[in-house]
């Protein structure tokens, strides 16, 4: 039996662990398949407060873990396979164990959809990015390629114009899926141009991105396209598969929470990207992880009062 089980070990999860550990709740953190979260895929992080010279993503994740453990959080490198929130205490199964929990904080994050092309994985963090807000600063006066045609792709392309000398948007169709207002803004921006009916089939570079292989989906013709960076925006998938049917999700699979990080099940809270399809930043994840922890502490105190 645990007072608090935290599912997921990114910035939101470790923040929730830190706060609940300092409240002497001895939280258990089940790290999941991506310990540390997406920040471990980022080389330099310069937009998280407290690091004037920046820091490596993997180092920040490690610091989060050590700080939570210092106050008594227990981190298990295992993954949840099944939950039952229909009864209390809640039941949680992992590959290795089974637990009962009086409260649960879900911080499993979301995963950017990949192109699944050669070079993408190897060059992630070295020119391949899924976040312009995070990495745009590193592409000052450089040319970059944005892949996608929805609101996120166009929003991030506009962010990149603050830094890059030129932003090319490659889209597999000849029409965009983004909102009309956003399309109008982008088309009026001189730094942005479009490469229509085109997909990326390979990303090339030796240690950093140098070019992308583009394919015209109508003619089948391929060409090498020089670029300093490839920003991929073909959607995110929240990591909520194991929670389907247990708590309320929106139409895209994100966990629905109120302003106090409460889900549809009393005693179950959520923080970070798993309930945030908009910002997806370390700072916002930390904030919601903190709020979820404080709400879990209140829930447990009320539970104790009731006997």
- Pick the catalytic residue: 44, 78, 84, 134? 134
For the segment 30-66, what is each residue's pLDDT rounded down to a tens digit? 999 888 888 886 767 888 999 999 898 889 999 999 9
Q: What pLDDT, on the 0 to 100 scale, is given for residue 233?
A: 92
CB atoms within 10 A of CB 99: 19
Please state, in angstroms and rounded to a whole number, the distance separating the CA atoms of residues 201 and 222.
Answer: 9
Residue 66 tokens read as: 């050590």
- Pick the catalytic residue: 3, 78, 131, 174? 131
For the segment 238-257, what is each residue's pLDDT rounded down to a tens digit? 999 999 999 999 999 999 99
As a whole-number percent, the residues of the chain with pLDDT over 70 amount to 99
pTM: 0.83
Please state, in angstroms and rounded to a whole number, the distance separating the CA atoms of residues 171 and 210.
Answer: 20
Is 59 a residue of the active site?
no
Domains and CATH numbers, the chain: 2-111+236-306 (3.50.50.60), 114-232 (3.50.50.60)
- Pick the catalytic residue: 135, 228, 273, 276? 135
Q: What pLDDT, on the 0 to 100 scale, is given for residue 6?
A: 98
Is 135 a residue of the active site?
yes
Is 290 a residue of the active site?
no
Please state, in angstroms and rounded to a whole number, the distance separating the CA atoms of residues 65 and 78.
Answer: 15
Q: What pLDDT, on the 0 to 100 scale, is given for residue 227?
A: 98
For the segment 186-201, what is each residue's pLDDT rounded down to a tens digit? 999 999 999 999 999 9
DSSP letter (8 states) at residue 251? T
**Average per-residue pLDDT for the chain:** 95
CB atoms within 10 A of CB 56: 16
């Amino acid at each position: 039996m645990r007072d608090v089980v935290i599912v997921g070990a990114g910035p939101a999860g470790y923040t929730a662990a830190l706060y609940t550990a300092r409240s002497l709740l001895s939280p258990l953190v089940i790290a999941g398949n991506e310990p540390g979260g997406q920040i471990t895929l980022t080389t330099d992080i310069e937009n998280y407060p407290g690091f004037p010279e920046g820091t490596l993503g993997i180092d920040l994740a490690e610091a989060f873990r050590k700080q939570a453990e210092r106050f008594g959080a227990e981190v298990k490198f295992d993954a949840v396979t099944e939950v039952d929130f229909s009864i209390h205490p809640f039941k949680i199964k992992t590959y290795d164990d089974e637990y009962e929990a009086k409260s649960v904080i879900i911080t499993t994050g979301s995963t950017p959809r990949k192109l699944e092309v050669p070079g993408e994985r190897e060059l992630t963090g070295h020119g391949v990015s899924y976040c312009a807000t995070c990495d745009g600063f590193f592409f000052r006066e450089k040319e970059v390629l944005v892949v996608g045609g929805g609101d996120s792709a166009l929003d991030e392309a506009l962010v990149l114009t603050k830094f890059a000398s030129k932003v090319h948007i490659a889209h597999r169709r000849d029409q965009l899926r983004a909102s009309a207002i956003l399309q109008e803004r982008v088309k009026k921006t001189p730094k942005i141009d479009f490469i229509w009916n085109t997909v990326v089939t390979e990303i090339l570079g030796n240690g950093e991105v140098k070019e992308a292989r583009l394919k015209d989906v109508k003619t089948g013709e391929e060409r090498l396209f020089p670029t300093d960076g490839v920003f991929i925006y073909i959607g995110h998938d929240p990591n909520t598969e194991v929670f389907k049917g247990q708590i309320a999700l929106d139409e895209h699979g994100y966990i629905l929470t109120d302003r106090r990080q409460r889900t549809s099940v009393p005693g179950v809270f959520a923080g970070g990207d798993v309930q945030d399809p908009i910002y997806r930043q370390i700072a916002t994840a930390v904030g919601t992880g903190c709020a979820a922890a404080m709400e879990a502490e209140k829930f447990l105190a009320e539970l104790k009062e009731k006997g």
